[in-house]
Chain A
Amino acid sequence: MKFLKNTARLKQAGFIVLLLFLVSIPVFSTQFFLTMMIRYMYFGLLTISFSFLAGQLGLFSLMVPVSFTITAYTIAICQVKNIMPLQLSLPLGFAIALIFAAVCGVMVNKTKETSFLMLTLVLSQLVWSIALQWTDLTNGSTGLLGIQFPEALNIFGDKPNVNQYYWTFILFGICIVLVWLLTRSSYGMRLRGIRDSESRMIALGYNTAALKWSAFMISAVISSVSGILFLYYTGMISPDLMSMNSSNQALISSILGGTNSIIGGSVLGTVINRTLELTLSGITKRYALVTGLLFLTVILVIPDGLTSVFERFKRGRKEGGELK
């Protein structure tokens, strides 16, 4: 028992050290590391929104980037065309993305597994082609450029990217805590119940359709937040972000890290995937092959993702301990 208590304390200490480290990054790190951290966070959130559905409900949604892009596009269009200020366009962006997600949620939740995958793919491609072809509004494949980070939010000094880092970090942190709480709540239990056996959950009297729909919406909210972070860091939004490749990257990151461990898996997977993307291509032209092989190996050898290795290690220790 004492041993367990100690690990809990150890965990707490580790968590605080990690938090301090993350907060102090802008003080000591190089510009490049900061860039990478911000990038991990906005793509990490996108992966989390994918993993949330995959891990909790076992549904692989290829339309996670849709809310991401709709929100970003709405804000960008409002700003570029001078329609309304950020205070109004931000809620509007959320509203449009969520309304769209709500409608899609009703449709796609009638399906399961492969047909769910296909339907979400079709819907995401639909929005992608709208963004590509409605050129009056979206400026076609060039997308919208030159979105400025709001001046009013520059409260962490004037070093480049430091403000973006802290705001990204704060929103990322909030999302992570919320997801963490959700997965540990009875709501999360119910979702996992549906994942394991939907018919049994129905028999127990749960309204599984509503539960699935709400999970779909939560995923859309997280994706929208990452869209905002992306827009204000990169200053642009283009249809690329909604292409097949964008969905695939979320999927690959999520599976690399492990879909069952929503936060850890997503963050780990995103970090590995996006680091490889940036560093490997300088070394070899055939970097996609390396990523592909890595993905293949992970699926074949550790289908539950990289985080499952840690889990197994931990469980092994517990089994050898006093509990069993």
Chain B
Amino acid sequence: MTADRFCSGDGLSWTDLVTNVVKLSGTRSVRMAQAMATWSSAPLDLMQSYLHEAAHHAFFFSPLGDNLASLYLSSTLRSQGLASNLQVKDGNSVSRTFSDETVRLARIELMHHDVMKEVLRPLIEGIALFAEFDATCRGATEYHTKPMVSALHMFHNGPIAESPPQEEERVRPWIWLHVFMPVLREVRLADAATSRKAVVYGLPFGLDGGGYLLGYMTVCRAWEKLGERIPLFRSEADLFFGYVSDFFTRDYSLIALLLDTSIDDEREFLDRCIAHIAARLDALVNDVRLVDVEGWYSPVLRDGNDRSHSEDPAWLLVSKRSDVLGRAMEENLRRRLRSYESDPLRGRAVRELLWLLPNRRIVPVWSIEAEIRVAGPKFELTVDGAEIMSGAVQFPNVKDGVGAGSIDVYFVMDEPPTLGRICLISRGGDVIAHWVLAIDGYIERLRRDTMRRIVRRRSAGAVFDSFQQAVTGYVERNRANRLLQLPTFRAEVADVYSRFALWPLSGAAIEEHVQRMKEFGIVAALEGDQALVDHLAFLGLSRSVSKSGELYLNGDEQQDELTHRLDEVSKRLGLKLVTMRGDSIVNHI
């Protein structure tokens, strides 16, 4: 299996940081194939997985994500392991001798990549969980994140019951409130959503298991604190999701730290990463003002562009000096990577990999094997024996006959309006048919610009797979003794997040909660009471899709009693879960 082809059907959904390949789980079904191949809306039970992975994609397809991926490539390209596995055209192996400095830099680059990735992991997962459970557009702003816009494309492709308003400026808010919100409501109020959130509540409150709960509570608390100063964030949680993502992924002072190979000691680099993330979290919750947020998305207001943001680092509280430094270091890294292109041994692989970086905007999200029968101008497609569709062969020179093929779906994560969804039907190396779904007027452009890139992305993905295999030994050897595998250092990283996740607690109170929740998170804090766990999850999900973003007691005796019990537990433990203010319910997570 190549990195670019992914057969779904088992395990969990994931996104790869380097390639941005996305795998959506639970999708190897005839129902899904039918939906994807015929451009119906994708099944709603996939939406939360989709939002989670789309949030990862957006995080990785960013300056920080690009530099993490580039640093990984740089290190592995430098490595002797790769050279010893390369073969020249006549089939002979070639090994090379590298200088000590090259070996040292390769080691430092991989160490920086690994440490930064692991220090950021709770934050990355926390933001994705926030996208999955909380992000909402209520139409009060013209800004929408790519994950939300693409989810609208993916999950609402059907007729609209009512007519949109006549006034152009009211159409977009109307779409979010009257088209997307009902879809989101159906998904988040389903039992499955409550169960998914309960899973997160039961995870360890620490770095073990991926740092999900720690990261999610940190992001929720940041949202709550910022919402006190910037009420717009409270109703437009998608705006917060976009801002908090950019706050870290466009932070060139963080990128400068990542790329500073003069820090060759892992302990020192870990300390610097921890200090930086702590300072940024602190700045996020304490220093960001409404004017910063408005400055950040001012191009949206000025140009009406759905997803532009200002390049001025000041709006993300990054100094101009750090920004310039980080960008210069980024350019150095790019230049060095490009210098490998002329290498007789690595040149081709390097060219494909460097091409892949900006083209990660084409995201392979879904694929299923199919049997394809071609007879003259027509083809028929079956999956697991069920006929999915038939249609016209769109490309010349496709031979008659039956053979194994596939349906592949790609998302093009360009700025709107060229954001779209492309479906490819292919057999062997032949593309038989394809469909493009995009905003009217941009379909042709997307088809023209993207089809060639999709085909190349497939070959670049295959090159990356071979590359990965060649460097596996090198990477594993270097990762074997990372400090972050030791509990002491993992605890140091967790401490930073705990302080924000459990705000306003401090000192011994934090330690008490960390101990209580270290294995089973909030489930342990709620003494394993299933009704309370489910109700806490339900409250948060309900708030995310309520009209105003506010929650009130609803007169349902059983539910209101559970809410009161959650309030009592919160008070007793000093843990912010739910707070009652008269009839009003404040759900903190």
**A associates with B:** no
